[in-house]
Amino acid sequence: MQESRLFKIIYYLLDKGHATAPELAAKFEVSVRTIYRDIDALSGAGVPVYAETGRNGGIYLMNDFVLDRAVLSEREKQEILTALQSLSATQYIHNGETLDKLSALFNISSGNWLEVDFSRWGDQQDDNRKFEVLKSAVMHCKCVKITYAGAYEAVSERIIQPLKLIYKARAWYLKAYCTKKQDYRIFKLTRILDCTILDESFIPHVFPEQESPSRQEEVLIMLRFPKEMAYRIYDEFDKSQVERQENGDFIVSAQMPEDGWLIGFLLSFGPQVEILSPAHLRDVVAEQARLIYEKNKP
């Protein structure tokens, strides 16, 4: 336990720069006296840790201190290399020198067993370019001018402050502050038709993590699919939401927001989906299907 705590103290000091003994004692749930004993043990082991007194005093590591590779376990080394290799495989890390250096340092071969590509089929170059532009803008706090295809309006140009790239439900999104709407927005990368980094910088801030208002509008839907739709069902739903019937059909039960997106989603299955409940959703989808037929009938 003490050995694990000693390493955690080193990690904490490397991350924070310095800390007080009471701060470390509270962090690791031990007494201040124990922390001082730990500091003595680290110093005795050759770790350049020292304490300064006074108003701005605390416990510090020498600025040029670097952890020896033996500190990391074999599993941790492999996880680091795997993470770097997965990023490199996306072509969003163009320089393999970092991966090569760490492989040599850890004395582990990174291999070439993993390939990850988040771009769409046939459009890799443009998707990767957008990703690189937005990644750079996020990291350097630069405003971006985008051309965006919104859900309920025509294509528009916006100036945004990009805050974070996220990957969710098999798609990339950008969390940003939109100067046009004067509010925070989440943009889907495939709907960003063009993007350009501007000279204007912004002060980095945190995207508000608020619960989606649509959560209160979610309803339990039950759907029936024939066995031929298994490939699509497991693309869209978690296996815990799927129940296989004796005749091979699938019954899906899922909480979903009842909005325009849901109607389009259900229509995307064509005649292969039967809405079991709620009953009023059957009527809405049937009416939309009728309108589609009327608009496209011979």
| Whole-number Å distance between alpha carbons of 121 and 295 | 31
Residue 226 has pLDDT above 80, yes or no: yes
How confident is the model over 155-205, as pLDDT tens digits? 889 999 999 988 876 778 999 999 998 999 999 888 899 999 999 999 988
For the cut 50, the answer to whether the pLDDT of residue 69 exceeds it is no
- Read off the pLDDT band of 148 (50, 70, 90): very high
Where is pLDDT greater, at 36 or 5?
36
pLDDT of 288 over the 90 cut: yes
Q: At what angle do helices 32-44 and 2-16 cross, to 10 degrees?
A: 90
What is the rounded distance in angstroms from the CA atom of residue 276 to the CA atom of residue 221?
Answer: 8
pLDDT tens figures, 18-43: 889 899 999 888 998 998 888 888 88
Helix residue spans in the chain (DSSP H): 2-16, 21-28, 32-44, 74-89, 97-106, 124-140, 230-236, 260-267, 279-296
pLDDT at 141: 92
- Is the pTM here over 0.85, yes or no? no
Report the candidate in 205, 175, 204, 209 with the shortest Cα–Cα distance to residue 192: 175
Average pLDDT taken over every residue of the chain: 80
Tokens of 211: 């619960």
Segment of 68-77, 89-98, 232-241 carrying the highest mean pLDDT: 232-241
